[in-house]
Amino acid sequence: MLNKYPKNVKIIEVGPRDGLQNEPSLVSLIDKKNLVKNLINSGLKDIEVGSFVSPKWVPQMAESAELINAISPTKQDDLNLSALVPNIKGLESAINTNINSIAIFASSSETFSQKNINCSIDESLERFSEVFKRTSASNLPVRGYISCAFGCPYEGDIDHQRVIELTTKLLELGCYEVSIADTIGCGNPSETDSLLHGLIAAVGRETIAMHFHDTHGRALENIEIALSKGISSIDSAVAGLGGCPYAPGASGNVATEDVVNLLNDLNIKHGIDLQKLIASGNEISQALGRRNSARVLQQKEAPSQGLFPIDFDNNDA
């Protein structure tokens, strides 16, 4: 075990996509645009802004193209705006925008794959091979996701070897990085340690990212295990937004504010202004008519109950 934290961590902000897609209140294009601009202003460089799926199934993502093209004039050279695509049809829609990269998603559960994208795992990989032919011609980088890597709401426990094999296949197809997702938030530190031990042995740590939901309040513990193994790419959603519309019981993603707070506590650099990030989370939460679920806010009110100490002056650790 490496047991050594990376010096720098890249946070992939998934709030505008994975966060908003399962929020019950529809968000206006203006509010989405403000959210992304606020996130950029806080220092985030990698933001998943939308999804090119059928608006019939995920209505919150219906304005993804408009959002991307509205934001793109403000983008910087080091800014990566990405969008999720399920198939070649979604890719064609994405290519017609000013998107910087795309993401694809496979499942480690056959049942979840059928319910999520209406095909088997093998069929999904066949679809993605067509996507890669098109992205290769367009020089568009592709990031992969593996959902239900720690457990499935329909099948229960997932064999780690299946996750390792699927990760390997996605990297062989051409993904520059694969995000291992705890879709329903059932993972624990011991399992995270075990899965990463096998994954790192098989594919190395440089192409692995982690994506945790905080269903049982263990996301930060799991992230710290991943960091201790040298993983330096972490997904999170501002204000702990979201869940998954096809995974019953999936709660919100781990809050970006809490991940930044943890990184500050561990003296790991990330380049994000925590106070601006909190303001971003508060604004979108108000638009949704919900509470910002980031624990760092609860800690500010009652520090003795927090998991990690807060240093609001350490915003660019």
Q: Is residue 3 part of a domain?
A: no
Question: Residue 202 and residue 12: Cα distance in Å, rounded?
Answer: 23
What are the tens digits of pLDDT across the range 154-177?
A: 899 999 999 999 999 999 999 999
Q: Is residue 293 part of a domain?
A: yes
pLDDT at residue 74 greater than cutoff 70:
no
Contacts of 8 (CB under 8 A, 6+ apart): 232, 268, 269, 270
pLDDT at 169: 96
pLDDT at 311: 36
pLDDT band at 308 (very low <50, low <70, confident <90, very high): very low
pLDDT at 27: 93
| Distance spanning both ends of the chain, measured CA to CA | 25
Q: Is residue 126 part of a domain?
A: yes
Backbone angles phi, psi at 92, to 5 degrees: -60, -35
Mean pLDDT calculated for residue range 135-144:
92
Q: Is residue 248 part of a domain?
A: yes
What are the tens digits of pLDDT across the range 9-27?
A: 999 999 999 999 888 888 9
Mean pLDDT calculated for residue range 313-317:
35
Count of Cβ atoms closer than 10 Å to residue 108 Cβ: 27
Task: State how far Cα 112 lies from the chain centre.
Answer: 18
pLDDT at 302: 45
pLDDT at residue 250 greater than cutoff 70:
no
pLDDT at 57: 83
Q: Is residue 311 part of a domain?
A: no
DSSP string, 208-252: EEEEEB-TTS-HHHHHHHHHHTT--EEEEBGGG----TTSTT--P
**218 contacts 271 by C-beta, under 8 angstroms:** no
Question: Residue 235 and residue 229: Cα distance in Å, rounded?
Answer: 16
Percent of the chain with pLDDT over 70: 88
Q: How many domains does the chain have?
A: 1
Q: For position 201, which CATH number holds?
A: 3.20.20.70
pLDDT band at 137 (very low <50, low <70, confident <90, very high): confident
Q: Is residue 4 part of a domain?
A: no
Question: Residue 69 and residue 278: Cα distance in Å, rounded?
Answer: 25
In terms of residue numbers, what domain contains 101?
10-305
Q: Is residue 316 part of a domain?
A: no
What are the tens digits of pLDDT across the range 87-107?
A: 899 999 999 999 999 999 999
3-state secondary structure of 56: coil
pLDDT band at 301 (very low <50, low <70, confident <90, very high): low
Nearest residue to 60 via CA among 248, 244, 278: 244
Average pLDDT of the residues of the chain: 88
Question: Residue 242 and residue 259: Cα distance in Å, rounded?
Answer: 16
What are the tens digits of pLDDT across the range 204-228?
A: 999 999 999 998 899 999 999 999 9
Locate all alpha helices (DSSP H) within the chain, ordered by sequence.
29-41, 64-71, 88-95, 110-117, 121-138, 160-173, 189-203, 219-228, 256-265, 274-288, 295-301
Q: Is residue 315 part of a domain?
A: no
pLDDT band at 56 (very low <50, low <70, confident <90, very high): confident
pLDDT at 312: 31
Percent of the chain with pLDDT over 90: 69
Question: Residue 97 and residue 93: Cα distance in Å, rounded?
Answer: 7
Catalytic machinery residues: 244
